[in-house]
Amino acid sequence: MQVKYLHTMVRVKDLEATKKFFELLGLQETRRIDNDKGRFSLVFMAAPGDEDCPVELTYNWDGDEGLPSDSRHFGHLAYRVENIYEMCDHLQKNGVTINRPPRDGHMAFVRSPDNVSVELLQAGDALAPAEPWASMGNTGHW
């Protein structure tokens, strides 16, 4: 029996804020389903050239009071990036908190507007430790 990965789904409270967050990571909207009868939108976002591995943003038009305030039970999404320092700097300049800085030049964690943990991993070998990341402490949890 063969299995193929399709996508990861996360529920979102503010579709536009969450889309903007994933766009900062370099993802693009690849598909959208607006269901008038069910009153929800499904927005699929993926990295260019990696459309087979999307994240599905599920937005309920009438709100989702059942959505937990902290999505730690979910785990995290992970993305490989070309330069982890440049990505973290870009995110930080756009208002994203770097929860676990890339002190090791290899791994960092941030959170989406819906508290979804996102792991960033350096492509290839770890970069040499560099400031301000090497001495930056953790913020919150991931």
| Structure letter (DSSP) for residue 129 | P
The first and second tokens of residue 5, run together, are 């990965």
56 is known as an active-site residue: no
Residue with tokens 């990036």: 81
Please tell me which residue in 16, 51, 82, 119 is annotated as part of the active site. Answer: 119
b/e code 34-54 from CB counts within 10 Å (16+ = b): eeeeeebbbbbbbbeeeeeeb
The first and second tokens of residue 76, run together, are 């995290």
Give me the active site residues, please: 119
